[in-house]
Structure 1
Amino acid sequence: MSYKARIREDAMRLNPMDDAMFQKMAEDVAFPQEILQVILSDKALQVLENVPQFSLKNMQGRSCILDVRCLLSDGRIVNIEVQKADDDDHQRRVRYNGSLVTTNITEPGDKFKDVPDVIIIFISKFDVFKSGKALYHVDRVIRETGELAYNGFSEIYINAEVNDNSDVAKLMEIFTKDEVYDDVKFPATSSRKRLFKHTEEGVSAMCEIIEKYKAEGMAQGMAMGRAEGRIEGRAEGRAEGRIEGLLKMAVSLWKKGRLTEQEAADEAGISLEEFKKAAAGATI
């Protein structure tokens, strides 16, 4: 199979739970608006602005790229994240992203009472809390009284692992299953998914973004290798650094669902079995 044919095959296997397709689907405001109406149980909710792949810079620490940031008509800011791999402390991820979002929307001199409310919605393929619910709201509670103490920050966790027959669970089926659509309940989500899975325009757009991801992964891997090689100061060190850098990037892209195991192994230049062993013990 040619490289182009393999890219096209990969593109047609993607679903909204995959970063690449979610990013493209979120370019149309109707998609995030529809899923927020479902998740927040508000059919009248309006998204005034949505920015996929929104970059948040942290000059003193780790920056991040949000899957999509939305501004609602009532002034609330919503960050929607999708995650396939259960490979980290996701509650701390939500906490960190929420802090960066809040910092990003706050100007010097703003009074704290004027800081907009922020909602982080974490959509995962797995059940973060292992409690058999498709949707979880995490609230701040005063331990001594049991009362809620709302400070303008909300955490909502959605997962595709649990099917409780709710609207959220039905929406997650469209996110994860190849040929599942629901034009009555979720017309915007269904139409956007069809566009990128069943039209030449959509499939070509997905091929472009997959090739972009692959190119970025290779470039980052080579950069990591060069940096490590310079530290070693020897030709052998440079070669080993490049290989390790490519492997780390390949594992990272696989965990994010952007590459299959075989593709990641090919990108790292090792066998599938070697990749599996490396990925099992890798810290990315």
Structure 2
Amino acid sequence: MNQQYLEILEILRPIDNEFMKVLFKNQNCVELLVKTIFGDDVSLMKFETEDERKNLQGRSIGMDIVVTLSDGRIIDIEMERSTENATPLRARYHASILDCSESFAGEEWNQIEEMYVIFICEKDVFNTKQLVNPIERYMVNGDLFNDKLHIIYLNASIQDESPLGLLMHDLMCSDPSQMYYEVLRTRVSYFKKSERGS
């Protein structure tokens, strides 16, 4: 095994793009993400990783993890190390691409599924010092606009003792022995420690 490759592998974390692509092809890892964010009562119907979608003008975008829950909700989860790529306009674009690809001819407007675009960011993008930054749209009178779109920014630099804070720790951790969640620890160890994985 190439020594340089092993040295690079040793420092990779789940939040790092190339490693994330491999780790989250595993349903157990995706379920850990979704259930930690939404609660244990959610159920996955399907998921795709590195899902490339195009608009009618040919502009493509790769979505890290796209999940459809059994109740129809659609979730796009993006791991993002760069603050430049975690902009509100990118969140808007991801939502628009999903809307176009997940709605169908003849579908009533009220049948469009509830959608979540979630950015898990290495840094505190908006300098809120909060772990969870939910984004909703409101009307002038303060009522929720209720367009069934929810954008959530998770700040992985906040690693408290909550289940979500522990998950942020694991996503930023390069040493599987230091990870809290068995699912991630086992998956990361497979690639870093076993001959078959590496």
TM-score between the two structures when normalised by the length of structure 1? 0.65
Aligned counterpart for 2:112 among listed residues 109, 115, 136: 115
Matching residue within 129, 151, 155 for 2:126? 129
- Is the 1:68–1:79 Cα contact (8 Å) retained in structure 2? yes
Tell me which amino acid in the other structure corresponds to 1:86: T
CA distance in 2, matches of 1:124, 1:103: 25
1:16 aligns with 2:14: yes
Q: How does 1:126-205 map to 2 (within 5 A)?
A: 126-144=123-141, 146-179=142-175, 180-182=178-180, 186-203=181-198
Residue type of the partner of 1:159? N
Matched, 1:7 2:5: yes
Give the equivalent residue in structure 2 for 1:77.
74
Q: For residue 16 of structure 2, what is the amino acid of its counterpart?
A: D
Other structure's SS at 1:200 match: coil
Deviation of residue 59 (structure 1)? 2.6
* Matched residue SS, 2:196: helix
Identity of aligned residues (%): 24
Distance 2:18 2:60 in 1: 20
| Alignment of 1:97 onto 2:90 | no
Cα offsets for 1:215-240 (capped at 9, x unmatched)? xxxxxxxxxxxxxxxxxxxxxxxxxx
Corresponding position: 1:36 with 2:34: yes
Displacement, 1:101? 0.8
- Aligned-partner Cα distance in 1 for 2:62–2:26: 18
Any conservation in 2 of the 1:80–1:121 contact (CA below 8 Å)?
yes
Aligned letter for 2:188?
A: K
Distance in 2, matches of 1:104 and 1:188, equals 31
**Structure 2 residues not aligned, in runs of 5+:** none
Aligned amino acid, residue 141 of structure 1: Y
Contact 2:158 2:168 in 1 (8 A): no
Q: How far 1:77 sits from its partner (Å)?
A: 1.0
Cross-structure match for 1:26: 24
Whether the 8 Å contact between 2:179 and 2:185 is mirrored in structure 1 is yes
Amino acid across the alignment from 2:47: N
Q: Which has the larger radius of gyration?
A: 1
* Counterpart Cα distance in 2 of 1:190 and 1:7: 20
For 2:172 and 2:132, how far apart are their aligned partners in 1?
16
Distance 1:88 1:81, change over 3 A: closer
Q: Secondary structure at the match of 1:87?
A: coil
Separation (CA, whole Å) in 2 of partners of 1:86 and 1:70: 24
Secondary structure of 1:201's match?
A: coil
Looking at structure 2, the residues matched to 26 and 163 of structure 1 have their Cα atoms a distance apart, in angstroms, of 21
Asked if 1 retains the 8 angstrom alpha-carbon contact of 2:10 and 2:174, the reply is no
Select the structure that is richer in helix.
1
In structure 2, C-alpha distance between the alignment counterparts of 1:87 and 1:128, rounded to whole Å: 9
- d(CA) in 1 for partners of 2:185, 2:109: 40
Deviation, 1:7, is 2.0
CA deviations over 1:20-77 (Å, ceiling 9, x no partner): 121111111111111111112x112111211111010113152101011111111111
